Structure 1
Amino acid sequence: MASRVLLILCLSSLFFFLAASTKEYPGQAKIFDVRNYGAHGDGRRDNAFAFTKAWNEACQWSNGRSTVYIPPGIFYLRQVTFTGPCKNPITFIIRGTLLAPRNPYAIKQDEWILFKYVDNLTVTGGGLLDGQGSYSWPLNDCNKNTNCRTLAMNIGFAFVKSSRINGLRSINSKMGHFNLFSVEDFNITGVTITAPGDSPNTDGIKIGKSSHMHIFNVTIGTGDDCIAILDGTSNLDISDVRYI
């Protein structure tokens, strides 16, 4: 009897060891490091393809939560769109600096970085979004030219639910910084948003057609509105906003 119990214990221990040694067993969180997809943090080479490939694989990961990881470094991005829906909750961790093109016409969409049709998204990490807007601000004459060209905002979220932004820094956007359209159950906390006081139309956070949003513990100092609330927005809670 004692031998049988010992055998069962040994087999149980072996099973546990094999399970613990497997990197991708069901339910395990998985990290998708952009460097494994060809990203370079040298501030020169465009990383949009590498970032998109890492996102697509993370988004389709079905065995648990996935994380796209951007390490320290300067990662140049011409423009990028991260599209869902994803199979599980997904985290986007930015540790380094994301650097936009100086040339405003290199970006062919309303936001330099865009997340859309994603639920249960967390964007965090303490990293920096640098829009390099000083090269574009002289071109912004929308206050006197009704046919002016709209410049790109730093980051956008469209049709995103049950998600949050935490601990990011955004500087020198070409136009606005954070653009939120048709988002629901969305939290923004611990972010810092800055641009010179004379930079045109650099709204901090712009919100439209959204509901059940919480914005708290944020620091904003730009050349336009700290938070711009457009039509169709309801159940918005804002607190502890520091102006610099």
Structure 2
Amino acid sequence: MASIAFVFKVLCVSFLFIFVASRPTIRPKTFNVQRHGSKPDGKTDNANVFTSIWSRACKRKSGSSKIYVPKGIFYLGGVEFVGPCKNPIEFVIDGTLLAPANPSDIKQDTWINFRYINNLSISGSGTLDGQGKQSWPLNDCHKNLNCPKLAMTMGFAFVNNSNIKDITSLNSKMGHFNFFSVHHFNITGVTITASGDSPNTDGIKMGSCSNMHISNTNIGTGDDCIAILSGTTNLDISNVKCGPGHGISVGSLGKNKDEKDVKNLTVRDVIFNGTSDGIRIKTWESSASKILVSNFVYENIQMIDVGKPINIDQKYCPHPPCEHEQKGESHVQIQDLKLKNIYGTSKNKVAMNLQCSKSFPCKNIELIDINIKSNGLENSSSIAVCENVDGSMSGKMVPQHCLN
């Protein structure tokens, strides 16, 4: 009897295994935008079709959804994709999404905007073509109060547990990718391209974000490759190539009230090639907020003919006259920064500029194995300039440090 019971158990387990293995896998429902009425002719505005497809995919309850953009040129006016959605959504772009060349044809701040979404995945071999060249000469808001408002290429607000992979962003009108209040987001394999003289075309810009990872990404643009603004924490950047552009910038900070601390940043295995700046922290000299910038690590960074390889500027004032003499020093406290294995060449004699606030001096700045030489100058020795900064050094040090 025991042997019969054993055989019966084995048969039951076998049938259960066969039943589980034979159950059909629930695949995402695919919405091919061309099959649903979009025209890849580069002329027809497909915005209404895209938003209609998004609505159907977002509301679908029985499994995840996949929106697929095949090869072709899909002209797209300003669109917003809004959640929350019932299930994860995958947005695969293998074709080109083409923005209006005329900036006034986009009636919103961001050309393609995602809001209030969890579990969003954007991928593909396609391109977001912002057609920014016509807009760049209009970007003179620092001197023209009537300047037109130009749209960023793609924005994310209140988007969590999501990612972008392999997409190319070309010639944005202003910033390429903008993130606000985004948490647990991965960016990998992305290519961002605009000419070095295109104004305000930041590659990746973020504020009030946390737990973001940027890796294996190439950024060449006319402003910051990556701009890190108020309230951003736990950011990891690795294997990024930056150039042309203005480097990886924290700030500017301190201009507005109610700004938040920026902390826990890691930047490693990055190459800056021909950029105006490399490692950059900028705070307004007469700041309206008292915040903390802390726990930063920069490691294994190569500089190739960079204007200001290491630049802490707490007297930031891009458009003089400045108010420093009237309103005092920056109230942004910078502390606990480690710079390790930073090497390469500087276009200028000053390879390291640590210009900190007199009221809130930089504290615990740790320099380890710095080797940045001036390139193309008669006297090839580089120098460091320090103001109001305390810290320590170890290992090779070119230029010679000037820490207190």
State the TM-score, normalizing by the size of structure 1: 0.88
2:43 paired residue number: 44
**Does 2:43 correspond to 1:72?**
no
User: In the TM superposition, what are the counterparts of 1:157-196 in structure 2 within 5 Å?
Assistant: 157-196=156-195
2:150 paired residue number: 151
User: In the TM superposition, what are the counterparts of 1:134-145 in structure 2 within 5 Å?
Assistant: 134-145=133-144
2:247 paired residue number: none
Q: Distance in 2 between matches of 1:30 and 1:63?
A: 9
| Deviation for aligned residue 1:38 | 1.0
| Deviation for aligned residue 1:146 | 4.5
| Deviation for aligned residue 1:110 | 1.0
State the SS of the aligned residue for 1:54: helix
| Deviation for aligned residue 1:142 | 2.1
Q: Distance in 2 between matches of 1:103 and 1:156?
A: 19
State the SS of the aligned residue for 1:122: strand
State the SS of the aligned residue for 1:35: coil
2:88 paired residue number: 89
2:288 paired residue number: none
1:106 paired residue number: 105
Q: Which amino acid aligns with 2:202?
A: D
1:242 paired residue number: 241
State the SS of the aligned residue for 1:159: strand
2:323 paired residue number: none
State the SS of the aligned residue for 2:35: helix
Deviations 1:154-201 (A, max 9, x none): 000110000000000001000010000110000000000010001110
Q: Distance in 1 between matches of 2:177 and 2:97?
A: 15
| Deviation for aligned residue 1:147 | 4.8
2:131 paired residue number: 132
Q: Distance in 2 between matches of 1:145 and 1:243?
A: 30
Q: Distance in 1 between matches of 2:176 and 2:70?
A: 22
| Deviation for aligned residue 1:213 | 0.5
Give the unaligned 5+ runs of structure 1.
1-14, 21-25
Give the unaligned 5+ runs of structure 2.
1-18, 244-404
| Deviation for aligned residue 1:60 | 1.1
Q: Percent identity?
A: 62
User: Structure 1 residue runs of 4+, over 4 Å off?
Assistant: none
Q: Which amino acid aligns with 2:175?
A: G
**Does 2:198 correspond to 1:199?**
yes
Q: Distance in 2 between matches of 1:228 and 1:150?
A: 20
2:224 paired residue number: 225
- The answer to whether the Cα contact below 8 Å between 1:27 and 1:63 also exists between their aligned partners in 2 is no
- The answer to whether the Cα contact below 8 Å between 1:37 and 1:53 also exists between their aligned partners in 2 is no
Between Structure 1 and Structure 2, the one with more strand by share is 2
Aligned length: 223
Deviations 1:125-170 (A, max 9, x none): 1210000000111111023234533310000011000000000000
2:31 paired residue number: 32
Q: Distance in 2 between matches of 1:89 and 1:56?
A: 13
- The answer to whether the Cα contact below 8 Å between 1:29 and 1:63 also exists between their aligned partners in 2 is no
Between Structure 1 and Structure 2, the one with more helix by share is 1
State the SS of the aligned residue for 2:117: coil
Deviations 1:202-244 (A, max 9, x none): 0000001111100111000000000001101111111111124
Which of the two has higher C-alpha Rg? Answer: 2
Q: Which amino acid aligns with 2:136?
A: W
State the TM-score, normalizing by the size of structure 2: 0.54
**Does 2:114 correspond to 1:115?**
yes
Q: Distance in 2 between matches of 1:120 and 1:235?
A: 19
After superposition, the Cα gap between the structure-2 partners of 1:63 and 1:27, relative to the gap in structure 1 and judged at 3 Å, is farther
State the SS of the aligned residue for 1:160: strand
| Deviation for aligned residue 1:112 | 0.2
- The answer to whether the Cα contact below 8 Å between 1:158 and 1:183 also exists between their aligned partners in 2 is yes
Q: Distance in 2 between matches of 1:238 and 1:145?
A: 35
- The answer to whether the Cα contact below 8 Å between 1:161 and 1:184 also exists between their aligned partners in 2 is yes
| Deviation for aligned residue 1:65 | 1.3
| Deviation for aligned residue 1:35 | 1.6
Q: Distance in 1 between matches of 2:27 and 2:191?
A: 32
Q: Which amino acid aligns with 2:104?
A: Y
- The answer to whether the Cα contact below 8 Å between 1:120 and 1:161 also exists between their aligned partners in 2 is yes
